[in-house]
Structure 1
Amino acid sequence: MTRTTLPGILAMATIVVASNILVQFLYGNWLTYGAFTYPLAFLVTDVMNRVYGTAAARRVVLVGFVVGLICSLIGTQIMGEFGPLVTVRIAIGSGVAFLVAQLIDVSVFAALRSGAWWRAPLVSTLVGSTLDTILFFSIAFSGALSFIHAATDVSWASEALPLLGSGPVAPLWVSLAVADWAVKLSIALIALIPFRLLTARLLRTA
């Protein structure tokens, strides 16, 4: 850990902890409040990548991964109304999705670094966010992957309902995934503004 990466590490840890707490609270029918904070992890990764390079970005990602694992382990020990706040499948899905999506984000960003300033953060976040959504919701809730932890009851997530309340019939977890993905994409666009401002300021002082 160096003084240059410490702010990024602290920001990533804060986002991961906050998202793990806020994911317990529903926002409407398809989202949790955590859906609005978690995508900021991609902003932190991309800012670190632009200013300090891929090695620094990967260090920040690994710290976020470890913090997420700790949060998940704590969650599995806290009992809620319907069982543990974090099931084994959710813990696995969260860890795998975060690590894979963030590292892919770092690699895509590096490949597009020399292009227009907005291309690398936008494309890398879109790719990473899509992978994150697919991996997490599939591992955590898909009936096809019940072998991951057969004792976890995800039957509620397989209930057939109109997609987002009005589309074709699909398992409930698919609606949750689509809503989450839409939020990630929206925040990816909005985050271009703070990305531009933060990187410009940090590059001046680096």
Structure 2
Amino acid sequence: MTTMQRPNDARLFALAVAAMAAVVLASNILVQYAINDWLTWGAFTYPAAFLVSELVNRRFGPRIARRVAWVGFAVAVAASLVLAPARIALASGTAFIASQWLDIGVFDRLRRAAWWRAPLAATVAAALLDSAVFWGIGFAGTGGPWITWALGDLAVKLAVGVGMLLPFRLLIARSLARPQPSNASS
């Protein structure tokens, strides 16, 4: 069953939503600050969004992971409209929801494989989609070196995503993210 069944589950759901919203909002602000012609600060924070959705997916299944993505998306986009330029909020929202759906679907299909396969494949696929959509909408035609920023940020997202395998493994080992049966049709 992929529903939240214990009182602690509601607290974990709220924590996941807050974490998702905080990651997206921080990334939307940090992406506006270039480190150099290849990288912005947002690349370092955004991969945590994939970790959050994969932990929720592992513990509660894809239906609840999608719910966390939608609520986190709404909170983050609303805050981003106040704290970041509209083009960043639009690009982020579009890229976020598309990449989260891909991440959740890939993860769910591979959830029974080796512990590392689902989060790795889901993160790589989602990071590629997120980068293409976000940079294409948010920065194309702005005059900055957006293509090199996109490539640099993608490289960091992939590296950080691989690095997130360790926290993922540690958290699932502590039973904070017990695997649940797939319920993709929900």
Amino acid at match of 1:119: R
CA contact (8 A) 1:109 1:121 kept: yes
CA contact (8 A) 2:38 2:152 kept: yes
Aligned-partner SS, 1:3: helix
The superposition leaves residues 87-134 of structure 1 with CA deviations (integer Å, 9 ceiling, x where unpaired) of: x33222111000000111001100111111100000000000000000
Q: In structure 2, how many angstroms separate the alpha carbons of the residues matched to 1:22 and 1:198?
A: 27
Distance (whole Å) between structure 1 residues aligned to residue 89 and residue 12 of structure 2: 30
Q: Does residue 130 in structure 1 map to residue 128 in structure 2?
A: yes
* Counterpart residue type for residue 177 of structure 1: A
RMSD (CA atoms): 1.9
**What TM-score, normalized by structure 1, do the two folds share?**
0.76
The aligned amino acid for 1:50 is R
Tell me the amino acid that sits aligned with residue 163 of structure 2. I
> For 1:124 and 1:31, how far apart are their aligned partners in 2?
23
Q: How does 1:105-184 map to 2 (within 5 A)?
A: 105-143=103-141, 154=142, 156-157=143-144, 172-184=145-157
| Unmatched 5+ stretches in structure 2 | 1-8, 181-186
Equivalent-residue separation in structure 2 for 1:91 and 1:15 (angstroms)? 13
Q: Secondary structure in 1 aligned to 2:10?
A: coil
8 Å Cα contact 1:43/1:195 also seen in 2: yes
Instruction: Give the match's secondary structure for 2:37.
Output: coil
User: What TM-score do you get using the length of structure 2 for normalisation?
Assistant: 0.84
Structure 1 spans left out of the alignment, 5+ residues: 76-84, 144-153, 158-171
Residues 16 and 67, structure 1, Cα contact 8 Å, conserved in 2: no
Q: 1:34 to 1:110 in 2, by over 3 A?
A: same
Residue among 76, 83, 93 paired with 2:91? 93
Identity, % of aligned positions: 48
The aligned counterpart of 2:28 is 20
The residue type equivalent to 1:116 in the other structure is A
SS at match of 1:5: helix
Separation (CA, whole Å) in 1 of partners of 2:102 and 2:69: 11
Match of residue 163 from structure 2: 190
One-letter code aligned to 1:51: R
User: What's the offset of the Cα at 1:203?
Assistant: 4.3
Partner SS, residue 2 of structure 1: helix
| Displacement of 1:31 | 1.9
- Partner Cα separation in structure 2 for residue 5 and residue 66 of structure 1: 15
**Contact conserved, 2:22 with 2:76, CA < 8 A, in 1?**
no
Q: Which residue of 2 aligns with 1:81?
A: none
Q: Deviations over 1:153-179 (max 9, x none)?
A: x2x13xxxxxxxxxxxxxx21111100
Select 2:48's aligned residue among 37, 40, 49.
40
Question: SS in structure 1 opposite 2:17?
Answer: helix
> How far apart, CA to CA, are the structure 1 residues paired with 2:154 and 2:133?
12
Aligned residue number for residue 166 of structure 1:
none
Structure number with bigger Rg: 1
Residue of structure 1 in register with 2:68 after alignment = 60
Q: Which letter maps to 1:91?
A: A
**Cα distance, 1:26 vs. partner?**
2.8
Distance 2:93 2:78 in 1: 10
